[in-house]
Structure 1
């Protein structure tokens, strides 16, 4: 009975696979939004100011960072929780694929969120007169919370890994 329960629980990981396929569908949606933004950006070139150019580029960078984040979650999540991807021979396979554990995934996720938040904040600063001071204040606070959370998460991982290595060193001496 125990073996049946364990095999069933282990097989339940496949329930995550449709979620990763759904995230790949979300990548198609992001591509659509990116292409629409690129078209709008290109059509506004004749009347574009420097600020408009920078804001347009930031919007495109923001979308590409979100897409990169999505790919990291899809690849790492699938490999960490569902099944290894048998693509070791593929010439275009990212070097980090198969190397990012759950801890690394969290750090990449937080770093991407901080970058995206920073880009949004930069867009606001480029057109600061358009936003009320209260909204800017909250955006800065939220960005700082993301930054501090990322630093604390990295510190927790470092402490955890340092503790594990210390423990291994102790057992190696005994």
Structure 2
């Protein structure tokens, strides 16, 4: 019997009850991904609230300005009374931060569902993400690590823009945490490269 015929015979066999139960348990993850979709909705709402306040503050709305200044202020630091370039930059970085976290959520929702729950059969869909065509646990892990580094970079940039409001220990701690994220991502990518090389050229992503 050829390997192809043997594979077809195995595929035609019914799955035994216990393995089938274990395999079907993957659907327990579905409520988790649905919950992340709701979290995405919350982030979309938060993004538009912040953007509306920023536009209102630029147009001179006092309540929007107060909300913006309160949002970018640091506990114990003096609050400004007007919209400055630094304030606008901090708000915009906050919006970018929300977008990057949303991108991270999409990668977890779509990539995680495709990898661990069920195929989505998007191969012929014109809007299929490029990375989804070759997604697996290793690729998803590297992409998530890269996204976390991007989010950490935004937070670190926000801190350094408003560095006068922070203690030196806080600045050093945030820089150290960011470097730890970076080294972790490099280690994950290097480990994935080693594993891909160990399994031959067919395993390269």
Match of 1:147 in 2: 182
- Is the alpha carbon distance of 1:98 and 1:8 closer, same or farther for their aligned partners in structure 2, counting shifts above 3 Å? farther
- Counterpart residue number, 1:13: 26
2:46 is matched with which residue: 17, 27, 33? 33
Aligned alpha-carbon RMSD (Å): 1.8
CA offsets per residue over residues 114-156 of structure 1, 9 Å max, x none?
0100100000100100011111111011000000000011011
Structure 1 residue 48 displacement after superposition: 2.7
Which residue matches 1:171? none
> Contact (CA 8 Å) 1:76, 1:98: kept in 2 or not?
no
Structure 2 unmatched ranges of 5 or more: 1-14, 61-81
Q: Which has the higher contact order (CA 8 A, sep 6+)?
A: 1
**Any unmatched runs of 5+ in structure 1?**
169-174
Per-residue deviation, 1:90? 2.9
TM-score, normalised with respect to structure 2 = 0.77
Counterpart contact for 1:80–1:102, Cα < 8 Å: yes
Q: Is 1:72 paired with 2:107? A: yes
Task: Report the structure number with the largest CA radius of gyration.
Answer: 2
Cα distance in 2 for partners of 1:78, 1:139 equals 32
Q: Which has the higher helix share?
A: 1
